[in-house]
């Protein structure tokens, strides 16, 4: 299996104003050790209103933390009141942008076509998309989990070119919808099975060599108590962390899971 750089990303959703966000990142940096950054990307994804504040903090304190955004529009500019464009995020030194998060798919009816346009726009402006795919509880119980995830993956990556030179620039986050915010977590074996299925589909789209280099995260109630067993799986290359990333101590434990106990 190819060597891949794990990515540990915290998605704060609609939590924390810009002052609270600054405190959270300061405390996170305090709790993390130099070795925690080695060989993995540490990313925080605050709300849009906090991006500038966190960008300034990261730059001024020279923190090895990368900045992520939770969403963006697919167009560079236009009459899209309330939206944020990729160029705006790029000017803020945003490195990663979430695309197709299950909450936006469900609440805003985002289709694979909309997500696909966002992924293309994110890449066009030199940022890295974290493409989210995952099934609901009803779909899993109906035996449709794999079908749903593969369909989302194909639709969201339609026409998106990935080569072995930029394979790590496109990140896939498998997030079972039934595990988000519920306290439920896929077993390491189930998470591995689905992430391996994602990689198999990536191989059908781009070839095995490229698929082996692409990063596949797991997201869904990741905590300090389960992160090690999840990260030990061969096809899981990091975590997309929700609620636990709102605590600097908890997120630091997740990021630092490789430390000796």
Catalytic amino acids? 101, 175
Are 7 and 241 in contact, with CB atoms under 8 Å apart? no
Token pair in block for residue 135? 């099934």
Residue 90: how many other CB atoms lie within 10 Å: 18
Distance (Å, whole) CA 189 – CA 237: 14
Cβ–Cβ under 8 Å, residues 57 and 22: yes
Query: HEC profile for 103-122?
Result: HHHHHCCCCHHHHHHHHHHH
Q: Mind spelling out the 3-state secondary structure of 171-216?
A: EEEECCHHHCCCCCCCCHHHHHHHHHHHHHHHHHHHCHHHHHHCEE
Rounded CA-CA distance 18/214 in Å is 33
Cβ-count burial 198-215 (b if 16+ within 10 Å, e if not): bbebbeebbeeebbbbbb
Name residue, tokens 């060989």: 39
């Amino acid at each position: 299996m190819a060597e891949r750089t794990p990515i540990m990303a915290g998605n704060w959703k609609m939590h924390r104003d810009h002052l609270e966000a600054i405190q959270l990142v300061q405390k996170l940096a305090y709790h993390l050790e130099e070795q925690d950054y080695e060989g993995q990307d540490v990313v925080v994804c605050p709300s849009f209103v906090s991006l500038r504040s966190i960008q300034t903090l990261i730059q001024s304190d020279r923190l090895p933390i990368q900045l992520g955004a939770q969403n963006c529009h697919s167009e560079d500019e236009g009459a899209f009141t309330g939206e944020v464009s990729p160029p705006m995020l790029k000017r803020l030194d945003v490195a990663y942008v979430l695309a197709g998060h299950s909450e936006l798919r469900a609440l805003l009816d985002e289709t694979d076509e909309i997500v696909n346009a966002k992924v293309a726009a994110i890449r066009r402006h030199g940022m890295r998309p974290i493409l989210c795919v995952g099934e609901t509880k009803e779909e899993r119980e109906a035996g449709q989990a794999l079908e749903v995830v593969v369909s989302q993956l194909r639709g969201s990556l339609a026409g998106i070119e990935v080569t072995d030179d930029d394979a790590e620039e496109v990140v896939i986050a498998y997030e079972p919808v039934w595990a988000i915010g519920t306290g439920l977590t896929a077993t390491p074996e189930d998470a591995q099975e689905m992430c391996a299925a994602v990689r198999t589909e990536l191989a059908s789209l781009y070839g095995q060599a490229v698929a082996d280099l692409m990063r596949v995260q797991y997201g869904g109630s990741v905590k300090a108590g389960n992160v090690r067993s999840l990260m030990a799986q061969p096809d899981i290359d990091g975590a997309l962390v929700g609620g636990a990333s709102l605590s600097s101590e908890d997120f630091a434990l997740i990021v630092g899971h490789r430390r000796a106990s």
